[in-house]
Structure 1
């Protein structure tokens, strides 16, 4: 049976183009460029909590890195290095090969070096720490929103959550509908290029991982402001739009999670610049509301009334 170090050497020891020293020693050595700040984030995916235990390992490899890249996208940072820690019930080399294929497939697209981590036996658990660079003082932050800012969101919302409800048997989707939603759930596309393009344009940003209402709420909390969004302005896939305003569809749209889109605020005078920046990286953005001084988050229905919100966002301890 292969040892821990054999498995690391076989599946995770790759040349580190952007590091002084990568995998193989007690610690990695990295050197950020002059005039750059380090942006660091970590995310954990736990079997049975964040994914089904029999999930495809290549998709898990992709998603384990993608959710971390999404955090750096929200900071307008360029990803550079990653640390990966994996707990495995057993040393299943076929599973490891698939996981590594998905992980490094995405890492190579974004120029990310795997520079360290850990492996152990235990319940299936995937933990990634991501490090990136951003010009000093130019990171997008949650506390930067200003009264009067437009609120924007990239891509579409709710499709991944709808796919999860399909897997859980809460509704049935047609085959083509299910395939599209499950692609969003299992293989999210981090908006790294959009985040970088928004540097100097947006005042605040966050990635939508736990649902729009919950994540936007973090911007409002840190900025000590409120907001109003227009339900009709939210970008939704056709499969979800056809099911609105049913409660399950509304919950997927507003609080479903797993979107990994960017929600950000920017001054109204920069609308054309925001659209141009998004167009330059091939990502659609939608203006969904505005930041106000009155605390709280309000959702305006198409008829002009306020939505009675009973959903917020994903809670890891609920």
Structure 2
């Protein structure tokens, strides 16, 4: 078994058996490439790598000062690779089976206040076609909690505005329905009916909702830059990105009393544990609880 043929087989497995998205497949293949680089330095091949070799590999990778999160994700990729070798290449002993992931401290995500969200959206120049498009983009990011990748590939055929729902293609090509509010619907219709109809569209791209001036779908980097420019325009000092709008969407729903399972479904989280990070409560509310109910306050 040589590395290149194994990587080709592994890629097909991830694509057709696991149904993973292109970005996820690239991440897994990069993990295996790192292992290959380490193994070739020590004249090891995929079939004779031991658990001790993998432990040495993780120590070797750690010399590059990567975070515990990156180490855990790397180890997950290696474990997936060896599980694939057991299934498809009859590997008898899985050297990755007993490896433990590093402990990860989950950070509370940065969110924007409603006032900050409003200020960013109000800073958009609506006198230009791009401004009307950007208004619809931000209303969707905040109003539906979309990942930026989901927004970039959003299709017109997946908009059901008459019943106030959109269908989104998430991680692993999994689809989910998300309710869309009147504010987002209003500006999305303006963009589609008054702006987009007057711009050129590249052949084959007609079904994509958000396009650039040349008629191609917007990239994630472009949306990131749009938000960065707006943050600079209003003097917002917080780190802000498209994902900040997703965090804010979820946090504001949970703080408003929304059912956690409903928020999980809308975000497309596989595990409720991921959604529970949004149950953090601000310090002012905690202080008011202490003041109101503690006998020593």
Which TM-score bucket, shorter chain as reference? Answer: under 0.3
State the TM-score, normalizing by the size of structure 1.
0.24
Higher helix share: 2
Higher strand share: 1
State the TM-score, normalizing by the size of structure 2.
0.25
The answer to which structure, 1 or 2, has the higher relative contact order (CA under 8 A, 6+ apart) is: 1
